[in-house]
Structure 1
């Protein structure tokens, strides 16, 4: 902490002056190093009892490391019915202390709850009026503002950390937030499956849903849409956690997911050797790990690398309007997109855009869009049990008859024939 101590003191002083919230700086053992704020009569009255003082110290000491594990601002209540929030300090990868903000109140207490605090903190009955007066000097902060006060302190403190230490904090934070999202996905699945009594039917529904999610994830990776890809991945992981009973089975299901993504990436033009090297690195970590949360986070960290790889492979000498429009086309091919819409997105006139597109892509706009839809349809035919009608709609064809006509024109076989050939039948 010595390296950042002087600048940290300045930052904490500024925070206190700006917000009016007191700050306590603790070392790694939980001992107080410094305090920034006005005298706190409320806590002083409680701390007249040595046992209560030690109780406060124990809470703050214990929750500093918890903030470090979370990589975030840790909000908690104390036995004095006050709110605090803690930010961990990390130096060279080690926990070296924390900053504790508070006390603050989320709301004014009732007379009954005040009496309970007085009993709980063993405040002498003769000090009740002093205790009430001291409480009135403590800020009442509504929950939303409390959150942003925590975020402000988080960023103020963490900008002092080294790049490596900041990466550690951000990794902890992102990992925890991913687990929260996976937890929400599991909760939704439990509600959705609560009324399904037929186990076989429930499993079929889950499998069909996962197939669609895998296809959506593959699409988002191909289109470079990282945020949407992360959301879909968390939903898939929630399904894997929900339907798999132990760590080994979860690891197996995650590796099955990686296999599906690998195959689709190579089919979409990624360099096979680069993809296999990247996946082999992840699978090696997977084999050595028993921590499912770490494995899930590692998979989420793999997504931007897969996206970068696909984009590297697809770099071409394209004009700027065409490059912009391809992003629009790949995002909206499921809809009835027109050349005029793509030209508008590319900031070009339809006539000029059509000439540019033909010159760059060596095919016309409609042919390119239909070929893209056929490639997406081929993936669904190989990887899912969706009906031909569902696939036709899913990839943007106006009707199944036209879908079959275009598909046969591009592949030489009907969608049904293509599926049977892939199945080996």
Structure 2
């Protein structure tokens, strides 16, 4: 279902995008959504009206506590950052994947697919997710029913579907559809800069006072970016461009040097506003490597305007979404690899975070540290294995990731209150009593 106000509101061919996404959705059997660069939905497959088919069914338990648009925007930004595709978990533990729609090297929208599961419903961590999303116990049955309706797709198939979606997004991003939008926006921006140039020329005063760099404008720009004000930021940026052009005498190399300084300042403002450090630094590297490809002031000013918009987008409050995605990915990794010798550093690397930062957010979100959680998972699995008398205790220790049986016994006793041997005896006694 098309939700936008027509193709003139977006910077890519929306009709073409809809055709491509419909074909993809029907082929793989997964619902999709097209969003603009702000996360607003432009089109939903299947004729539906709700942005997320899962959250729409969970409206009463969730009470609007999850902003699905922010979740989609987060996934899109991560896809832009990680080579054009990204598989992620939303706050409800559902799996989605995203690919950006790019115009002239700038993300102008995205295509997302999902939700799906990568585990069977009986393996889904319902209690953990219900707790993290403050779903009341009276709504748990409804939650479980909704989960059972979501398709289950193997991780390797999800990866292949993500690769296909990237191809769809690349087709939508074909350059011929972007020329009109680039020319129109560039002309509007140059008009604003010219008006401001004329304004400062008629202000009076000597050349030295007129060409003095407006530090106060720079500070105003940084303040606006740090609060995510796009319109205000664009206006002030155009004014700064006017000063730079006026004071440089039109020298393109001087203008490029000042633009480089502005990129660094813009990134600092985004960081001050709460943007993700690693993401901003990654974008900085990308942008700084592009500057020598421009050969006119018009190209350069339009490009920097898009950078500013991107940094301003990063200030949006996506930190909570990012943390949820990281935690679910970490938990999924632990549950798939608990039987091996895994470390905090290994899991942190798997979610692209430094060990210290990952350790902090894991403890904040899970209310326990990494090692304690890993031990809990291992001990819960060992309880099930202890029900089988044919498996020796030393083998159980190895099967759940403990190389040392004595250490396994120590951890088990600490968490359960009795040793593995006593637990097995008590369980067997209980079964014998029930059979009499």
> What TM-score results when the alignment is normalised by the length of structure 1?
0.36
Report the structure number with the largest CA radius of gyration. Answer: 1
Q: Which structure exhibits the higher relative contact order, with contacts defined as CA atoms closer than 8 Å and separated by 6 or more residues?
A: 2
